[in-house]
A and B are shown apart, each in its own frame.
Chain A
Amino acid sequence: DQQVKQNSPSLSVQEGRISILNCDYTNSMFDYFLWYKKYPAEGPTFLISISSIKDKNEDGRFTVFLNKSAKHLSLHIVPSQPGDSAVYFCAASGYGGSQGNLIFGKGTKLSVKP
């Protein structure tokens, strides 16, 4: 029973173009969503987050959009750079109020080609 789903295992984008990574969730109790980026042989690093009271949060080239009615969020990277090539994990929390109990998706591997 996957509560956080990233249905695209991989995504390939040309440098300078927009990358859009998608995430769906099933638990309506989730009220906080995060994106983490992971390079090979390293731990995940926090990228950007959004609370359920918002529908958009922006940080430089990264923007996260939340559609609560559709239980869907997306991460936009504009413009994409080769250094953005990594695995991106969507995570959600809020169920039971435990921030630590992040529920992660399986990840999407982004490849940005020069």
Chain B
Amino acid sequence: EAGVAQSPRYKIIEKRQSVAFWCNPISGHATLYWYQQILGQGPKLLIQFQNNGVVDDSQLPKDRFSAERLKGVDSTLKIQPAKLEDSAVYLCASSSHGYGNTGELFFGEGSRLTVL
């Protein structure tokens, strides 16, 4: 079974530039998550999709971050404009469990963003 795929693995940009990350979840997984992991911290949820609908984006900085999941499969996370404090690893995860049901998450390898 193929895992969660993310790209790019690494990205370096200057502040005020924009960047986009892509995620392809495990086939058949209805739930997709984007987490932000700042160095020395645990992952923090940014947004959760159930199929192509958003079920939780309470911690997404909506003035600069946006995410979409077209057709309930792939997802993109965009940052525009980037700030220095956005430097982090952006982790995509998927789950076969729906909203409100517990179950393990399968994480991708992450996309490391450095903002200069």
Complexed CA–CA distance, A106 and B99 (Å): 24
**B-chain residues with CB within 8 Å of residue A34 when the two chains form the complex:** 104
Q: Are B42 and A91 in contact (CB under 8 A)?
A: yes
Given contacts A98-B100, A106-B41, contact A43 B56 (CB under 8 A): no
A side interface size, CB within 8 A: 26
Determine the residue in chain B with the shortest Cβ distance to A38. B107
- The minimal Cβ–Cβ distance linking B99 to chain A, given in whole angstroms, is 6
| B33 interfacial contact with A, CB 8 Å | yes
* Bound form: Cα–Cα A41–B99 in Å: 29
Say yes or no: is B110 at the interface (Cβ < 8 Å to chain A). yes
Number of interface residues of B (CB under 8 A): 28
Please name all residues of chain A whose beta carbon is closer than 8 Å to the beta carbon of B107 when the two chains form the complex. 36, 43-45
Count of CB-CB pairs between chains A and B under 8 Å: 66
The answer on a CB contact under 8 Å between B48 and A98 is yes
Q: Which residues of chain A come closer than 8 Å to B40, judged between CB atoms? A: 106
A51 within 8 A of B: yes
A106:B48 contact, CB within 8 angstroms: no
* Shortest Cβ distance from residue A11 to the other chain B in the assembled complex, whole angstroms: 16
CB within 8 Å of B: which of A14-73?
Answer: 32, 34, 36, 41-46, 49, 51
Q: Please, could you name 9 A-B residue pairs with CB atoms under 8 Å apart, sorted by A? A: A43-B93, A44-B107, A45-B107, A49-B102, A51-B102, A98-B55, A98-B56, A102-B45, A106-B41
Chain B positions near chain A (C-beta within 8 angstroms): 4, 31, 33, 40-45, 48, 55-56, 91, 93, 95, 97, 99-110
